[in-house]
Amino acid sequence: MSSYSIRYADRAVQRKAGLAASQRASLEDLEKRLILNPFGPPAMSNRDNSWSAAFKGGFITYVVSNRHVVINVIDLVAL
């Protein structure tokens, strides 16, 4: 299985830029796991072809293109 690449929508990019250092490190760990398998733990299906996965202090919502081997992050929420 190929590794996926991750692309962030504009709003998610802006929110990612505002994360605290500990949140950013946790998100980077999450990204490393998701590029290997965006459908495995800690991913959760939202039953509408989108997925969510939590990191310390937030979560992302994303859709996956298997044809292009890309994870498109459509939203990032910091808690």
pLDDT of amino acid 1: 61
Angle at 30 between CA 54 and CA 21, to 5 degrees: 90
State the average pLDDT for the chain: 96
Percent of the chain with pLDDT over 70: 99
Question: What confidence tens digit (pLDDT) does each residue in 2-33 have?
Answer: 799 999 999 999 999 999 999 999 999 999 99
CB 19 within 8 A of CB 28: no
| b/e map 34-73, b = 16+ CB within 10 Å | beeebeeeebeeeeeeebebbbeebbbbbebeeeeeebbb
Write out the E strands in the chain. 5-8, 44-45, 51-55, 58-65, 70-78
pTM score, whole prediction:
0.92
Is residue 53 pLDDT above 70, yes or no?
Answer: yes
CB 6 within 8 A of CB 31: yes
